[in-house]
Structure 1
Amino acid sequence: MKNTTKEITNKIKENKWFIFTILLSAVFGMILGGVTLPYFFYSNIESNEVANWSSVLAAVGTLGTLIFLIRESFRTKKEQKQIREEQRVYQEKQDKLWDEQNKLIAFQRYTGHRESFEKLLSKIEKAHELSFYDSEKLYRNLFPKNGFSQCDFEIETTNPKNIVKPKDLNDILQTLNYIEEKLSIMSRINKYERQNEICNIVFDIFRLINMLYFDFEKKEEVGDISLEFEGKHFVLNIFSPSESLNIIRDVISKLLIFSGNGSLPPSLNNINNSWNRSALLSAMIPTSPKRYPLSIESVTSNREISFLCEWFLFMDNHISDYAHTNEKYKYNDVAQLLLSKRDVEKIISESARLKAKVGECLEALGKIENNDKKFEHAKRIKERYSDLI
């Protein structure tokens, strides 16, 4: 009620001169119509003249009312236009405020996501003795659309290989699947072609590590295979090759979970199969392949272990000739020894046992007669390790 009264008062103030003019016209009309005209009437003025004057005064009143309504209409439109302008300005301010708030929320989501990503990498580093040397590139490859204005927490892993944006999560998964598929069918490949294939796989494992932007940070151990490429990079251990793949799979699995996907299924560890291990030893010993700059100094620098590896490969190539013999049992014993990096490290620490094992294997080579087809191969091995005889 107070507001209505105030509005009426304001309108009267705004239109006070116009209202005064209307009232003055009305009073003037009343004087003319109520005083002057009767006077003229009684003064024998003709009635038609009185009617004419009445019409003029009525027209003046009507015209004044019409002018008032027109003016009021213009004023109302002006007020409505002003209200619409005020609403537009208010809406623009609100939109700008909402936009700034949305940007702030997106910024907080992005920085929080990046912080969580870095914490995840830090946990992986501590768990596996490795170091992510470019977490920025890894994040950009995994989440290419993320930035201060947008942040997605999930990654679609059913997309085909991304040619435009390589090294994304789909490329990483495809490379891992390719490696594991190749390892699973290695038994179907010709024995003498496996060496080249296993070297390709070793390089693919290095490429996968490179796609994940990390390096292993560990002391060199016996059996470590390294690749010389802009520095020396550990790839896998020849005696425990599955360890590297298991670590790589764990890294990928954690990245999948972080990106809203399920973890990887368990691995069959096909790299531990005998044909893959033999191919790996054959490829690296006695000389590493020239196609890739791979080195295995941790083995070749230890003459006894290097000899046992070559003796194992010799027996593996000719095992059909040693069925039901003592040499077959020696072969199985050495094969079991070379199945684990820890077993190899243990026998190295027991020098007497290591020398005895080397002596047994040398003795087996010495029993091969000159007319045997294996003689030349055995002779080359004995010549290479003459210092152990």
Structure 2
Amino acid sequence: MSFDKKEGRLQTAWVWIGFVVFITGVILFTTYGMSLGPISGEHTAWGSFGSLLAGFFTIAATGATIATLLFLAKQNKDMQKVNQAQLDSMTFERYINHRKLFIEQLKDLEIAHKNAFNFCDPNLLYKTIFPENGPHKCEFSVESKFDANGDYENLISEIYFRFEELVERFNVSQFNKGDGDLLARCLINFHDRVLMVEPVGAKRNGDIEFNSVPYFINIFSIEEFVRAAVKISNHILRFTNNNEVDGSRIFANSKFVRYAMMDDYFRPVDNQRIEIVTSIFGIKALESIHRHAFRMRDSENEFLLPVTFRTLDNIFSSAELVNGLADDEVLNEVVEDCIEEVGDYLQQMKVDSTNFSMVNKISDKLIALRNR
């Protein structure tokens, strides 16, 4: 029922109360006047008339009381509506400010990481974290929820799940063929499902692409993504009143992790949809030389080509150094450092030596790079 209809019914009730009181008075006084006769000077008659007046005014007072109660009830309902409107307005304002603060802090995270990535859709991320929030409801805390099987049921619980998944993948004692690819898939899931970010700027050699879509993940600097992932995750967890994750549990700068991913993506398996950017001339040849230099050891497990291995290992230790190979002077310097050692060692080797064939192939690759 609308407010106008309720207002009309209340006014009608007041009219009827007044009408009933008036009619009652008319009936009482008319009846009394008709039966009274001449005005009497006796106290008894006037006492009877006083009783009549008292009865009438009691009825009138009752009617007035009822009317007053109806009026107060109306005022109370009106006040409730005003209070509800104020609460709705406060809830709406709180929701707007809460969402605005969240999005502003996401922007601060982008700036803190030198705008290397953007959040694809901050509003979608907010709605995913706070699915119940809206103009009429605004909650500040979100609990992590897992079902009976231990599967996550919201983004908060998924953060914890994905984080533990990364801890497990990074901290294995030994990487086998394909483990680098499995780790990359875990990173991609974290990238897409939790962070909802996209890289900004030109592609870098070593950047991961999945189905030709670039990601803010570089196999030569995996720690960059992991640091950002932990920082963003902890921001979300703090914002929702949850415990933070401990990023130190992930050994993202492990060289063995880097070796595993290099091994998988420089020699990809069939039908592999994850690829890495390798646009710099000679990078694949240098990776091959690095891999073989790492494996060639003497009887005391020392590197046969220590200068070559350490030079290339240093280059492949970060995305910045790898992409520096795009500068011909840098590439030439690396090639010369390696070719000098390889040439000297090759002259000392016998043709029937165990590693002669491999060292000779390394020499050919380096000479080809120098003569490019």
Q: TM-score, normalised by structure 1?
A: 0.73
Q: Which has the higher helix share?
A: 1
Distance change (3 Å), C-alpha of 1:163 and 1:90: farther
Report the CA distance shift for 1:365/1:160 in structure 2 as closer, same or farther (over 3 A).
Answer: farther
Give the whole-Å Cα distance in 2 for the aligned partners of 1:371 and 1:377.
12
The corresponding residue for 1:43 is none
SS in 2 for 1:272: coil
Contact 2:294 2:303 in 1 (8 A): no
Q: Secondary structure of 2:135's match? A: coil
Q: Which residue of 1 aligns with 2:277?
A: 297
Residue 15 of structure 2 corresponds to none
Residues 164/78 of structure 1: CA separation in 2 closer, same or farther (3 Å cut) = farther
1:91 to partner: Cα distance: 0.8
Is 1:218 the equivalent of 2:196? Answer: no
Q: Deviations over 1:302-350 (max 9, x none)?
A: 21x3222212222334446563464245434432332223333455542
Give the residue type in structure 2 aligned to 1:355: V
Give the counterpart of 1:353 among 333, 347, 367: 333
1:238 Cα deviation from its structure 2 partner: 2.2
Letter of the 2:210 counterpart: E
How far apart, CA to CA, are the structure 1 residues paired with 2:303 and 2:231?
43
SS at match of 1:145: coil
- The aligned counterpart of 2:156 is 169
Match of 1:278 in 2: 259
Question: C-alpha distance in 2, partners of 1:336/1:199?
Answer: 23
Counterpart of 2:178 in 1: which secondary structure? helix
- Corresponding residue number in structure 2 for 1:115: 100
Q: 1:103 aligns with which of 63, 88, 91?
A: 88
5 Å-filtered alignment, 1:149-168, equals 149-157=136-144, 159-160=145-146, 166=154, 168=155
Aligned letter for 1:284? Y
2:17 matched residue in structure 1: none
CA distance in structure 1 between the partners assigned to 2:351 and 2:62 by the alignment:
119
Query: Can you give the 5+ residue segments of structure 1 that lack an aligned partner in the other structure?
Result: 1-10, 35-57
Tell me the amino acid that sits aligned with residue 251 of structure 1: I
* Counterpart Cα distance in 2 of 1:220 and 1:137: 26
Q: Distance between the aligned counterparts of 1:80 and 1:71, measured in 2?
A: 14
Which residue in 2 is equivalent to 1:247?
228
| Alignment partners' CA distance in 1, 2:167 and 2:341 | 34
Counterparts of 2:361 and 2:198 in 1: how far apart (Å)? Answer: 38
Contact 1:319 1:328 in 2 (8 A): no
Identity %: 15
C-alpha distance 354-220 of structure 1, shift in aligned 2 (>3 A) = same
Confirm or deny: 8 A CA contact 2:208 2:219 kept in the other structure.
Answer: no
1:7-86 mapped onto 2 (5 Å cutoff): 30=40, 67-86=52-71
**Aligned mates of 1:29, 1:317 — CA distance in 2:** 135
Report the secondary structure of 2:131's partner residue: coil
The separation in 1 between residues aligned to 2:153 and 2:268, in whole angstroms, is 34
> What whole-Å deviation, never above 9, does each CA across 1:38-62 have from its counterpart, x for those lacking one?
xxxxxxxxxxxxxxxxxxxx6x777
**Amino acid corresponding to residue 197 of structure 2 in structure 1:** F
Match of 1:258 among 223, 239, 242: 239
Q: Specify whether residues 226 and 112 from structure 1 end up closer, same or farther in structure 2 by C-alpha distance, changes over 3 A only.
A: same
Q: CA deviation at 1:226?
A: 2.2
Query: Is residue 127 of structure 2 the alignment partner of residue 140 of structure 1?
Result: yes
Residue number in structure 1 paired with 2:312:
334
- Cα offset, 1:200, TM superposition: 1.5
Q: Aligned letter for 2:179?
A: E
Q: Deviations over 1:191-235 (max 9, x none)?
A: 4x3x3222122122112111222101132223x232233x52124
Selected match of 1:316 from 284, 287, 294: 294
Distance 1:75 1:245, change over 3 A: same
Query: Which amino acid in structure 2 is aligned with residue 283 of structure 1?
Result: D
SS class of match (1:93): helix
Equivalent residues of 2:25, 2:56 under 8 A apart: no
Rounded to whole Å, the distance in 1 between the matches of 2:341 and 2:288 is 10
Matched residue SS, 1:122: helix
- Kept in 2: contact 1:308–1:358 (CA 8 A): no
Q: Report if the CA contact (8 A) 2:335-2:366 is conserved.
A: no
CA contact (8 A) 2:222 2:252 kept: yes
Aligned residues of 1:142 and 1:169 also touching (Cα < 8 A): yes
**AA of the residue aligned to 1:221:** R
| 2-structure distance, mates of 1:240, 1:172 | 22
The alignment's TM-score, normalised by the length of structure 2, stands at: 0.75
| One-letter code aligned to 2:274 | L
Describe the superposition over 1:101-143 as per-residue Cα deviations: whole angstroms up to 9, x where unpaired. Answer: 0000001001111111221122222232211121222111111
Q: Judging changes above 3 Å, is the alpha-carbon distance between structure 1 residues 267 and 134 closer, same or farther for their aligned structure 2 residues? A: same
Deviation at 1:25, TM superposition (A): 8.1
Partners of 1:365 and 1:311 lie apart in 2 by 15
Segment drifting more, 96-105 vs 243-252: 243-252
Q: Which moved more, 1:129-138 or 1:342-351?
A: 342-351
Q: For the Cα contact (< 8 Å) 2:293–2:303, is it kept in 1?
A: no
Mapped contact 2:208–2:276 kept (Cα < 8 A): yes
Looking at structure 2, the residues matched to 99 and 327 of structure 1 have their Cα atoms a distance apart, in angstroms, of 79
For residues 228 and 87 of structure 1, the distance between their equivalents in structure 2, rounded to whole angstroms, comes to 69
Task: Sort the Cα spacing of 1:367 and 1:76 in 2 relative to 1 into closer, same or farther, 3 A.
Answer: farther
For the structure 1 residues 335 and 134, does the alpha-carbon distance in structure 2 shift closer, same or farther, using more than 3 Å as the test? same
